[in-house]
Amino acid sequence: MSSGPQGLIDHLQKLWEWDDYISWDGEYLELHTGGWSGNEMVIMALEKTFFWFFYWQKSERGGHYYFTIPKKKEAT
Per-residue pLDDT of 17-26, as tens digits, reads 999 999 999 9
Residues in a beta bridge with 68: 28
Regarding predicted confidence, which is higher, 55 or 74?
Answer: 55
Max Cα distance, the chain (Å) = 45
CA–CA dist 16, 44 (Å, integer): 13
DSSP string computed for 19-31: GGGEEE-SSEEEE
Confidence band of 6 (pLDDT split at 50, 70, 90): very high
Q: Nearest-CA neighbor of 30 among 44, 13, 47, 14?
A: 13
**pLDDT tens-place string over residues 26-67:** 999 999 999 999 999 999 999 999 999 999 999 999 999 999
